[in-house]
Structures are given as C-alpha cells and as structure tokens.
Structure 1
Amino acid sequence: MCRTDQVPNEPSDRDQDAGATDAAFTSLLEDSAEELYEQAPCGYLSTLMDGTIAKINNTLLDWLGLPRQRVVGRMRFTDLLSVGGKLYHETHFAPMLRMNGEINGIALEIKAAGGSRLPVLVTSKVKTSSDGEPILIRTTVFDARDRRTYEAELLRRHREAEEARRQADADRARLQEALEVLQQSLLPATLPAVPGMEAASYYHTASPDLLGGDFYDLFPLDGTRWAFFLGDVCGKGPKAAAVTSLTRYTLRGAAMHDRDPVSVLRTLNAVLHERYNSGDARYCTSIFGFLEPDGDRTAVQLASGGHPSALIQRADGSADYLPTPGGMLIGILPDAQFTTARTVLSRGDTLLLYTDGLTEARIGPGRDLYGEDALRDFTRAQPPAGPQALVAALTTLLTGFGDGLDDDTALLALGIPATPPAAVGDPLA
C-alpha cells in the first residue's frame, strides 16, 4: 500500500547531502598534481646527480626572484646558496647525502630576491632506478624565517638570562661581603689578652645570606676583673642583628656599673622587654660572667638566662657541666629569673661556653641530635691542653657534621695554661 502524499522519484535529504559531497570532491580533483606542486607552501626542486636543476616550483622561484628559464637546466642547486651555504654543502651536506641517500632538516641560506638571504631548512632524497642506480635528487625547501626569528629571540632571552644571572651573582657576592662585614662588627675582632689566662673563640655561620644571632665578648673592667658573655638571639637577619647589637652594648654598659651578673642580665631583660613588647617579641639566651684572676687561680662568677650550661674541662682530664637550671629567656617577661653559679679555674682548667647549634646538630642516618652528653664525652676524650686546643678540636667536630650543622654556632673558651708562660729574661724562654 502506498501513500498518496509522497511524490515518486523525489530525492531524499540524504541523497541531496551525498550529491553535495560528490560535487565538492569533484571540484578538488580539478586541481591537478602539477598545480599543487607549483603552488605548494614550500619550495620543491629536482636536480640531476651533478646538481643541475631539472625542475623547480613557482614557490621557490618567487623566493629567489628568478624566472624559470634562467634556472632550469642552467643553474645548479649550489648556485642558489649563499657563500656559507655553498661551503657547508660541499663539506657536509653533499657527503652525507651520498653516504645515506637522504638528509633531513639541514639549515642553509639561499640568495633570495633583492639580494637578501633567506634562512631555509632543506631535505633531500636520492631517487634510484629499478636497478638501484641514482638518477636524480628531490629536494624540499622550507622557509625558516619564523624559526630563525624564534631562535634569535630565544638566544636573546638566553643572553638576557645569563646577564641577569651574572648580575645576581655579583649582587649576591656584594651582599655576602656586606653581611660578613656587618657580622664581624657584631663580634670582637680579636679577644684581648687576659694576664695569666688563655682565651679562644670560634663562630660558624650557617648561611652566608643571613646574619646570625649568636654573639660573644670578652673585655676588661678594671685592673683586676674581666667580663665575658656568650648568647643567642632568636631569629636571623637584620632584625636579629639589631637585637644582637643592642644586647652586646647593653651588656657591656651594664657590666661597668654592676658587680652582680644577675643584675647585668636583669638590665638587659628590661631593655629588650621595653623595646620589643609591642607585638614583635624579641628575646635571647645568654651567659654573663666575671673573671678575677689571682695567680694560678681564677674565680668565675656567672649567671644564665635560658642558655645551655657552661662546660668545664679540668686539668685531670675530667669534664662536666656547671649547672645553671631555671634561668629564663631574656626579654619575654618584665621580671625574669636568672640562675647563678660560681667556680674556680686552676692551672690546666678550661671553661667552655657554646650556643645550641653545637648540641642540636643532626648526626647519623637517623638525624639524631648530637646532645649534651656527647659533647661532655667528646671533651673528656680531649687532652686538657687549654682553650685554643679545645676550640680547635671542636671546630674539627663541627666541620664533620656537614649539613647536619644547620644553625649558627659560637664557641668561647677561657682557661689557665697548664704550664705558666716563661718570664722575660728567663734563660729557658
């Protein structure tokens, strides 16, 4: 049964779409292979084995600015190249082509219209006869101006980056030099000579780009007494350096007026708390003390504010801490409590002060803390040869920690030589 409203033989929508596709495909076939060759976006040419150009497309002729009759059968491929291109063709391009039968993406320059040079990428392949004999060379030439521009821009950016890196290195070197000078200004250039005693110090900076907060000093008060201190300011950088400078000069000034180490630390606590109690809390730990040399003995009186206890190496080879428990951080509270201790150094004894960078160094595969027990055992293992020998041994120890020593570390050692120095005019001197 058929429908009366359907018109016989009328094409469907699908038939109409298929017809449109066939028409478009037919129009594409009207472009001959020769037309595609001539108007290709890249240059094509075929040469005889001696390089004589046998065929060339319009695209390449347009780049060269030459008529076909002047090129085909009259010029060789190398005649299209710049002087440098000819030299490279003879020394590299042609030998590699003969050896491999093809060569891909070689950068050359051709002599373009108007006398300019056109950077190109060249791909060539040798075509052989049925019996394997080479009969011609087919070459494709790609315009590489965009690539050359990109490479030039890339080179320019690379040079800019190198210059920026050199400038950054120079700036970094100047900054490190400035930081080193500033760091040195926060430490005594040399330790003074205390009559009848020996002193030694060492400072390790964890980062050359940051000012450290560790500090120490040794200075005379009058004809019989000397003052010393060692401490650690919280943080690093310029702000920590400002606190370090204020701390050093406060301790020096207070030492001139107070004979009690606790009073000196209280003065420092008051200064820091008053200066830094408005949100940007700054504090430090420190040991401050007085020395009173008297012949072969030196009385030591000290006070500690939150700092690791001093260590004493005795002339008999023993070593132990001088306990100062309970001392509070300096600058946090308005009324901080500090701990005092007294001892006497005899001939051959050494008092060692240090910051926690030493005992908190990381060691071993487990990155464990070095610790106070290890420091005491290390000191006991050293011959009691005086402050300089002990600091030298500890310096070697610190170096051995490598990257496990990630904090600034200061050492200050004070002691009485085991053998008194020979007097002037002594025949044994």
Structure 2
Amino acid sequence: MNRGSEPAANGGRGLGSAVDAAFTSLLEESAEDLYENAPCGYLSTLMDGTIAKVNGTLLGWLGRERDEVVGRMSFSDLLTVGGKLYHETHFAPLLHMRGEVNGIALEIRAADGTRMPVLVTSVVKNGDGGEPLLIRTTLTDARDRRSYEAELLRARRAAEEARRQAEADRVRLQSALAVLQQSLLPDTLPDVPGLVTATHYHTASPDRLGGDFYDLFPLGEDRWAFFLGDVSGKGPEAASLTSLARYTLRTAAAYTADPAAVLATLNTALHDRYTSGEPRYCTAVFGVLQPDGDGFDVRVASGGHPPAVITRADGGAEFLDTPGGMLVGILPDAPFVGAHNRLEPGDSLLLYTDGLTEARVGADRGLFGEEALRAFAAEHAGGGPDGIVAALVELLSGFGDGLNDDTALLCLGVPATPDAAAEGKRT
C-alpha cells in the first residue's frame, strides 16, 4: 500500500500525501529561482573582478538594479573603503594563490551608503585545461552575528570594568583595613632605659581584620607594663573586642600593679559585655617590668595564652610557665596564674600568639609547636630581641600557606653591654 492510499485522520488528507505534495513542489522549483532567491548573496566575476552574474538577494541588499551592476562594477566596488583595501592586499592575492578563500568578514556598501556586514567565501572555477575562468562568490548576511559579537564585546567590557572596579574596591578595602588594623596596635613603643624591644605583626589575610594585639607603656615609679593577646574570631567583631581588651588592660593597670588582678578586671569586662549572644573571649599575657640592678624584675600573669620564652645570655632558653590560667571572658570568676622571673644582661623575654606555634610545617603538615619555638629561640639568643624577631620573621615567611593565622611578636631584652643598654634600642 502506498502512502497516498493510507486513510487520513478526521476525514482529511493523509500525512503521506502532504509530504509527497511538498516534495513535488520542491522538484518543480527551477534552479534559477533557487539561485535568485537564495538566503545568501551569489555573484560570479571574471578573473579581473568584473561582475558577470549576480542574484536577486544580493541586488536587494545593495539596493541596485541588475544592469547597474553586471558588466559595470567589480566585486571590490561593492565593498567599503577599508574592505577594498583588504581585498586588494589580502583577499585577492590569497584567492589567486589558493584558489579559494572561506569566511572572510567584510562589509558591502548599498546604493544609499548604508553598510552591511557579510561573510565572504570565494572559489576559482577552472577550465578543462586547468586555466582559471571565473570566480564564484557567496556572501552570507552577518548582521545578526555582528550584533551578537558586539553584544559579547559589550558584555566582556562590562565584565572587565566590573572586575577592575572590584579590584579597586578590594584595594581600597585592604587599605582601610590596614589603617584600622594599625589603629589597634601602638605606632611605636616607648624608650625604656636599659631595655631593648622588638615587635612584629603578621596579618594572615589582608582582606580581614586580625585579633592579635600588644603594647608597652609606663606605669610610673620606674615601672613598665606590657601585654600581648589574641581575641577570638576575625573581622569587625574581633576588632571591637581587641579595642576593648587593650583599653581595659591599660586602664586596669593604672589602679593595680598585680598582673593577675589586671587580667581579672579584663575578664569581668568581657564576660559582662558578652553575656548574651555568642561568647567572646581572648587569651592574654600581662606583665610588669621593674629595673633591678643591671637587669629587670619581671612579674607576669597569663589567661589561656601560650607560655612566654626566656632566652639566656649563655644560649639557653626556657618557658616562663603559667599553667592553669583560664581563657579571659569565659567564666565570671576565672582564675589567673602569675609567675615571677628576672632578666639578666643578655636575657630576652619573647611573647607570641599561637599563629606561630600552630603553623603547619614539613611534609606531614604537623604543627610547628612550642618546643620547636623554644629551640629556635635558643639558637638565636645571642642576637637579643632584634636578632630573635628578625630570625622569626624569616621563619614565618618560609611557612608559606602553612601560616594561616595572624601572628604577633613582642620581645623585651636586657642588652649584654652597658652601651647598648643606654641606647634603649627598639624596632
């Protein structure tokens, strides 16, 4: 049974008959009609470029009559000034050399002066003896493509501008954060007769505020207070907590010289401030220095902070242990542990935050640790505070991405020579 005899649904003609009719109509369409009304422009030129044949589609794009074009114009006459130059210097030589050129973007110029982007493909037709006879050229409308490319270009430029703006905003933010971060640290440390000081602050990320802090300030009566700490969290909340901790410690020290009592005051301030909501706390070491002969008497108290390291003039190093000290701000009546020691000429006291000891090092990415720090400090004890901190800064730079937390260093030392002691050198 052929498709023409199949029953049709709803009494209409069958689908097979409709398809047959469409194919019959297509076969009856003349080749000349297909050429004239093709969805692209066709033209044939002599080898010198003179147009010998052109279809209706291209004439419509040009807004010209056939007798204006055939035998009177060359292909290059249809192009813009820039297109003519490209045709003469690149397109035509390449076509004659290869025999074909594919998908070249050009612009044709209509009779009214308007321009139309096209993609041009040309092929040289040869005679039986291989001699070139004519050039067949196809022009495809590229207006939609040009609009698409222009839109892509606009989108890319917009994206690049957004990226530049985001980078500029990031730089401004980092600058503002750096200024704010610096405001949470002393600009300089005061000169303390007979004492050398050295500090360093490493920010793990320039895009966020850190929570490490330190200070050194006079108490009067030939005494000096110092502290170093690390607040919980990062960002604006940490900055607020850091500011509160610094000013509370300085204020409390004006009323008592007992380091444990100073930390107890800070504990009360933090606990009362953050009673509701997420707990906020810090670790801290607070100490008091007082000249004693050719050295300094040192009294400290710690609240959950890593132990300070004392390096000795003979090259040894030991922890100034303060076991049992609670985190500051967690409990309403937290206990804080005090310790007492003495710095002789050539001795140094190193305070640090846990960004240093918790850095990941080695192939196994283990923690650097407190014992490694003690041994490292002993190796550089002869350099005093300046040498110890400089060596630690170099060490930190070698940790790479293993150093993922802020690190603060504060080192106080008694020079081994009287001349250095008189200078009260600081960095």
3-state secondary structure, aligned to 1:211: coil
Distance verdict in 2 for CA 1:94–1:422, change over 3 Å: closer
Pairwise CA distance, 1:310: 0.2
Please state if 1:42 is matched with 2:36.
no
Selected match of 1:13 from 7, 20, 25: 7
Taking only aligned residues, the RMSD between alpha carbons, in angstroms, comes to: 1.7
The superposition leaves residues 287-331 of structure 1 with CA deviations (integer Å, 9 ceiling, x where unpaired) of 001001123121110011010000010000001111111111111
Give CA-to-partner distance per residue, 1:316-351, whole Å, 9 cap, x none. 000111111111111111111111111100000000
Cα distance per residue 1:165-187 (max 9 Å; x no partner): 22222222221111111111100
Shift of 1:198: 0.7
Q: What's the CA shift for 1:413? A: 0.3
Find 1:309's aligned residue among 307, 310, 320: 307
2:95 is equivalent to residue 101 of structure 1: no
CA gap 1:303/1:69 in 2 versus in 1, 3 angstroms:
same
Which of 209, 212, 215 lines up with 1:211 in the alignment? 209
Aligned-partner SS, 1:386 = helix
Q: Is the Cα contact below 8 Å between 1:39 and 1:59 reproduced in 2?
A: yes
Q: Is the 8 A contact 1:285 1:305 kept in 2?
A: yes
Distance of aligned partners of 1:92 and 1:168 in 2 relative to their CA distance in 1, 3 Å threshold? same
Cα distance between partner residues in 2 of 1:20 and 1:351: 99
Shift of residue 260, structure 1, vs aligned partner: 0.9
The answer as to 2:263 corresponding to 1:265 is yes
Following superposition, the deviation at residue 280 of structure 1 comes to: 2.2
Moved segments of 4+, more than 6 Å: none
TM-score of the pair, normalised by structure 1: 0.93
Letter paired with 1:329: L
Structure 2 counterpart of 1:389, one-letter code: G
Identify which of 40, 46, 54 aligns with 1:56.
54
1:55 Cα offset (Å): 1.0
Q: What fraction of aligned residue pairs are identical, expressed as a percent?
A: 69
1:387 and 2:389 matched:
no
- 2:383 maps to 1:409: no
Distance 1:178-1:22 versus aligned 2 partners, 3 A rule = closer
Report if aligned partners of 1:196, 1:295 keep a CA contact under 8 Å in 2.
Answer: no
**Superposed, which structure 2 residues align to 1:272-311 within 5 Å?**
272-311=270-309
Q: Which residue of 2 aligns with 1:427?
A: none
Q: Which residue of 2 aligns with 1:110?
A: 108
What is the deviation of 1:361?
0.8
Please say if 1:419 is aligned against 2:417. yes
Aligned to 1:270, the other structure's residue is in SS state: helix
Question: For the structure 1 residues 106 and 423, does the alpha-carbon distance in structure 2 shift closer, same or farther, using more than 3 Å as the test?
Answer: closer
> Which residue of structure 1 lines up, in the alignment, with residue 425 of structure 2?
none
1:155 aligns with 153
Deviations 1:70-127 (A, max 9, x none): 1111111000000000001111111221222111111111102421111111111112
**Contact 1:212–1:236 (CA under 8 A) maintained in structure 2:** yes
Q: 1:379 is aligned with what amino acid? A: A
CA contact (8 A) 2:196 2:421 kept: no
Q: 1:204 to 1:20 in 2, by over 3 A?
A: closer
Alpha-carbon deviation of 1:16?
6.5
Quote the offset at 1:422 in angstroms.
6.8
Structure 2 counterpart of 1:298, which letter?
A: F
Q: Among 329, 346, 349, which residue is 1:331 paired with?
A: 329
Letter in 1 for 2:254: M
Once the 2 structures are TM-superposed, how far is the Cα of residue 194 of structure 1 from its aligned partner?
A: 0.9
Following superposition, the deviation at residue 262 of structure 1 comes to 0.8
Alpha-carbon distance in structure 2 between the residues aligned to 1:312 and 1:104: 80
2:302–2:338 Cα contact (<8 Å) kept: yes
1:7: which partner in 2?
none
After TM superposition, the score normalised by the length of structure 2 is: 0.94
Distance 1:194 1:334 in 2: 35
- Tell me if 1:240 matches 2:234: no
Specify the SS of the correspondent of 1:206: coil
Structure 1: which 5+ residue stretches go unaligned? 1-9, 425-429
Residue type of the alignment partner of 2:35: Y
Tell me, yes or no, if the aligned pair for 2:311 and 2:381 is still in contact at 8 Å. no
Gaps of 5+ in 2: 423-427
AA of the residue aligned to 1:13: P
Q: For this pair of structures, how many residues does the alignment match? A: 415
Amino acid at match of 2:198: A
Distance 1:17 1:292 in 2: 107
Find the aligned partners of 1:17 and 1:220 in 2 and give their Cα distance: 101
Match of 2:200 among 193, 199, 202: 202
- Correspondent of 2:367 among 344, 366, 369: 369
Q: Which amino acid aligns with 1:126?
A: V
- Cα distance per residue 1:243-277 (max 9 Å; x no partner): 00000000000001012111111110110111112
How many angstroms apart in 1 are the aligned matches of 2:339 and 2:49?
Answer: 99
AA at the equivalent of 2:52: A
Paired position in structure 2 for 1:249:
247
2:75 to 74, 77, 94: 77
Whole-Å separation in 2 of the counterparts to 1:155 and 1:82: 23
CA distance in 1, matches of 2:90, 2:152: 26
Structure 1's 404 and 221: CA in aligned 2 closer, same or farther, altered over 3 A?
Answer: same
Verify the 8 A CA contact 1:385 1:417 in the aligned structure 2. no
- Shift in alpha-carbon separation, 1:422–1:344, aligned structure 2, 3 A: closer
Partner of 1:3: none
